[in-house]
Amino acid sequence: MSRWEPNARGRLERAALELYSERGFEQTTVTEIAKRAGLTERTFFRHYADKREVLFAGSATLEELLVGALEGAPGSATPIAAVARALDAAAAAFEERRPHSQQRQKVISANAELRERELIKLASLSAALSAALRRRGVADPTASLAAEAGITVFKIGFERWIDESNQQSMSQIMRESFEQLKAVTAGN
């Protein structure tokens, strides 16, 4: 009896984020998330393994997006230019979802376990980018350094982008952050 629920996944995600923001991640149960979304627990578990996974279900899509964009970079692109292209694609996808990203980040920042899970996500994105660079013939340590530099820019740029006082687009911020990293490593 697996009834199809229109946009169950999105409804569960919104309900979960609302509840995590209102009462905290630890204090929220799957039962409450399903209820708020007007769905059953059984439907919840058809879409997510647990309540933490709701916050990280987008990681695979983000990885595909980054790797796909990097792979699409012209053969003549330097490693860092290929990585910058990947970040541009991610920025374009995030741009519309700033309120969602802000809400998600607040939930993550408030919980040590979620902050750790987020670090692991970033490390795995870095590994995916460096593997994609190696497939383009970039040797190590250049591949790893370019990937790590990209993830540093993504992480720090992302924090600036979701800041309430920020008026810039994510893609502008990512570009600026790349320039700043370049200036910093050059010793300025």
Residue closer to a copy of itself by CB (options 60, 139) is 139
Number of residues that this document lists for the chain: 188
**Residue 39, phi then psi, degrees to nearest 5:** -130, 175
The verdict on 144 binding a copy of itself (CB under 8 A) reads yes
**Cβ count within 10 A of residue 57:** 15
Measured from the CB atom, is 81 or 92 closer to a copy of itself? 81
Residues 62-101 that bind a copy of itself (CB under 8 A): 78-81
Phi, psi of 85 (to 5 degrees): -65, -40
167 near a copy of itself (CB under 8 A): no
Candidates 7-15, 28-36, 59-67, 143-151; binding stretch for a copy of itself (CB under 8 A) = 143-151
CB-CB neighbours of 154 under 10 Å: 27
- SS3 of residue 70 by DSSP: helix
Q: Which residue has the tokens 């995590």?
A: 20
* 155 near a copy of itself, rule: CB under 8 A: yes
C-alpha angle 178-170-47 in degrees, rounded to nearest 5? 115
Provide the minimum distance between the beta carbon of 143 and a copy of itself in the complex, in angstroms, as a whole number: 9
> CB-wise, 2 or 76, nearer to a copy of itself?
76
Q: Which residues bind a copy of itself (CB under 8 A)?
A: 78-81, 116, 119-120, 123, 141-142, 144-146, 148-149, 152, 155-156, 160, 177-178, 180-182, 184-188
